[in-house]
């Protein structure tokens, strides 16, 4: 189980310490994002001046020797995430740029707050602008949405989880953003937790058979079973499941499951049909987790902007 992100204001805004994101993955994301915007997917030249020249507007209107300072600013209240990744977008095109952090991932910010200040060649700052904003706005939108859910269940003991319903290619960033919003990641993919669903049961013949087959193949992995009814809960518990996914159950049904499981070492996750208005009621049933696919598949971006200062 991943822990929510807590980071002190970094002296190096590009520092990935504590994010769980690897430098190699972040550098690949930065490269892919910039080539999409600057070259249409063709490899981006390593020489900063050549790379920046693909921004035809800035190359035509901004003198090459012009330096300036730009602020990455919040245009709405929210929770920020992805700032170290956005910072690396700027340093990819302006390796000598001076960066100063105004906020750190996981911080609540208000409209008008300066999150990051960058000083460097103006052409490079403008060429990097949209790519940096797309990354930070997307991650911050997820963090903001997640924090609303985390606040809604605060004090109940329940934890808000994401799912595998992520943007292809962006899962590490999006799941990191959930942690920035004080949510958690139960499983990162198909490889780290086994989830037995109705199709697996149909293929194996029964819940017990499916669980036994998973145990045989991967004896150390956590086994979760999806349950639609209280009867299925009993079958899954008898089969030795570690974790139950309680799909589209009412609060009364969830309370019945909590009572049935009692003190057994089985974790309970409510999912399906959850809304923010009902989050507290569901959490109060005694389940351990609420999983919300919308955190990563439907969160609106947090409005951020890059403002070039007049000098």
Hey, which residues are catalytic here?
Answer: 130, 165, 197, 226, 247
Burial class (CB in 10 A: 0-12, 13-18, 19+), 111: exposed
Cβ(102)–Cβ(117) below 8 Å: yes
The position carrying tokens 């790519």 is 131
19: Cβ contacts below 8 Å, ≥ 6 apart: 5, 7, 84, 105, 176
Q: For residue 115, how far is the Cα from the chain centroid? A: 19
- 8 Å CB contact between 107 and 79: yes
CB 103 within 8 A of CB 80: yes
Token pair 């139960």 in the structure block, residue: 186
Task: Please report, in angstroms and rounded to a whole number, the separation of the first and last CA atoms in the chain.
Answer: 48
> How far is Cα 309 from Cα 205, in angstroms, rounded to an integer?
66
3-state secondary structure of 227: strand
Cβ-contact 90, 127 below 8 angstroms: no
Q: How far is CA 248 from CA 198, 256, 293, in A?
A: 14, 14, 13
């Amino acid at each position: 189980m991943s822990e929510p992100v807590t980071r002190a204001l970094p002296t190096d805004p590009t520092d990935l310490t504590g994010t769980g994101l690897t430098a190699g993955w972040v550098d690949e994301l930065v490269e892919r994002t910039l080539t999409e915007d600057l070259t249409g997917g063709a490899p981006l030249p390593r020489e900063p001046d050549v790379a920046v020249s693909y921004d035809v507007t800035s190359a035509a209107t901004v003198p090459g020797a012009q330096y300036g300072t730009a602020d990455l600013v919040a245009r709405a209240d929210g929770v920020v995430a992805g700032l170290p990744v956005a910072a690396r977008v700027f340093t990819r095109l302006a390796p000598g740029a001076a960066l100063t952090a105004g906020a750190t991932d996981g911080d609540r910010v208000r409209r008008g707050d300066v999150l990051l200040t960058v000083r460097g060649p103006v052409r490079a700052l403008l060429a990097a602008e949209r790519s940096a904003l797309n990354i930070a706005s997307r991650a911050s939108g997820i963090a903001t949405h997640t924090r609303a859910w985390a606040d809604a269940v605060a004090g109940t003991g329940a934890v808000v989880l994401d799912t595998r319903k992520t943007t292809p290619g962006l899962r590490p960033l999006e799941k990191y953003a959930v942690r920035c919003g004080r949510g958690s990641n139960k499983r990162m993919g198909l490889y780290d937790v086994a989830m037995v669903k109705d199709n697996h049961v149909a293929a194996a013949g029964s819940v017990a058979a499916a669980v036994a087959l998973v145990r045989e193949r991967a004896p150390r992995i956590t086994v979760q079973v999806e349950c639609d009814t209280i009867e299925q809960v009993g079958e899954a518990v008898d089969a030795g499941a570690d974790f139950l996914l309680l799909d589209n159950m009412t609060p009364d049904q969830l309370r019945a499951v909590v009572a049935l499981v009692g003190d057994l070492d089985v974790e309970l996750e409510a999912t399906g049909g959850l809304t923010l208005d009902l989050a507290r009621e569901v959490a109060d049933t005694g389940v351990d987790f609420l999983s919300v696919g919308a955190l990563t598949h439907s969160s609106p971006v947090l409005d951020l902007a890059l403002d070039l200062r007049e000098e």
